[in-house]
A = this chain, B = another copy of it.
Amino acid sequence: MRNGKDGIVERTLGELARLVGGELRGDSELRISGVAGLEEAKTNEISFVVGPKYVGKAHETKAGALIVPPKLKSLNKPLIITDNPYLAFAKILTFFAPKPHPPLGVSSEAHIGAEVKLGDSVSIQPNVYLGDCAVLGDRVTLHGGVYVGSEVCIGDDSIVYPNVTILDRCIIGNRVIIHSGSVVGSDGFGFAEDGSGYFKIPQIGIVQIDDDVEIGANCTIDRATMGKTWIQRGAKIDNLVQIAHNVVVGEDSIIIAQVGISGSTKIGKNVILAGQVGITGHLEIGDDVRVGAQSGIAKSIPSGQTVSGSPAISHRDWLKNCQILSRLPELRKKIISLEKRLAEIEQAISS
């Protein structure tokens, strides 16, 4: 790595090709100082083309080099050729991204509870509340306004963004990222009718978030009534998602913004729930299930299925239904016409 004359970090195209394990085509000494989209890239930046759909834009781009899949290796630019251009782009972008701050230590403007255990190189900003007996692993970052309750454990290298709340006794794994405003460990929603009103069912369980999970901004993940609400390894959750008490989200599942999952439902591995999906309680959603945006799920779904609609049906049937629905007025006219013609025939026969 060298710093260019104006202080910008530069790498050669050859270095970047090696970084992503790609095949180099063109000048290995070409200097690249950043990554950008095809339309925004400047001559000293690299861009990427994920497929033939973007070839038109690739011909017009000012980018100095491109990351492309093998089928586009004839593009007339310096190239890095790789089977997964999107991943290579992500890796190069990571390389050029601003580096995290060096550890800040513990701010004197933070509240640090009694008997906490702090790992090496933690960063605790001003206005943090760290409850009694909390345990932080190495290199944990708590940004300003974060509340960490008593007896919470947070693993190594996890980042908690500003104004997040993690309530008592919850367990957060390693390399977990929780974005601003999210709440982990609020009470599950449970009441028993007692004849005159509602008796609050205490929520004495916890939330457990395993390694490599990312939670978006302003999400709510309720603690279990008993036992745990459980987000398993590698799951990625977008913004404003509601996870009720005792839900389990399986490994590497993807939950897009504004989804709501009701109590005790179990989501399998590698599931994808698109935006604004709602799932009722006590269901089982199998591995590899895909659910279309805004769908409403009221029944368990076996592994491997793709469903859409509210109530959800197979995605294939839903597509058919959508087409028919758009022609409903036409169908209705056909029925009225059939009735008329049939009445004429009946009259002809009877007379």
Question: Which residues from chain A sit less than 8 Å from chain B, CB to CB?
Answer: 35-37, 40, 84, 86-87, 89-91, 93-94, 96-98, 107, 109, 111, 125-127, 129, 143-145, 147, 149, 161-163, 165, 167, 177, 179-183, 186-187, 189-194, 197-202, 204, 212, 214, 216-220, 222, 225-227, 234, 236, 238-240, 242, 244, 252, 254, 256-258, 260, 262, 275-276, 278, 280, 293-294, 296, 298, 310-311, 313, 317, 320-322, 324-326, 328-329, 331-332, 334-335, 338-339, 341-342, 345-346, 348-349
Q: How many angstroms from the CA of A127 to the CA of B163 in the assembled complex?
A: 11
Q: A258-B258, A275-B262, A293-B296 are known contacts. Are A90 and B186 too (CB-CB below 8 A)?
A: no
Q: A162-B167, A194-B87 are known contacts. Are A144 and B111 too (CB-CB below 8 A)?
A: yes
Nearest B residue (CB) for A225: B93
- What's the nearest-Cβ distance from chain B to residue A107, in Å? 8
**Cβ-closest 10 pairs across A and B:** A129-B144, A147-B162, A111-B126, A186-B217, A165-B180, A220-B239, A97-B202, A87-B192, A183-B217, A217-B220
Please name all residues of chain B whose beta carbon is closer than 8 Å to the beta carbon of A149 when the two chains form the complex: 162
Please name all residues of chain B whose beta carbon is closer than 8 Å to the beta carbon of A256 when the two chains form the complex: 189, 262
Copies of this polypeptide in the complex: 3
Q: How many angstroms from the CA of A59 to the CA of B346 in the assembled complex?
A: 61
Q: How many angstroms from the CA of A165 to the CA of B125 in the assembled complex?
A: 14
> In the complex the two chains form, is B257's CB within 8 Å of A191's CB?
no
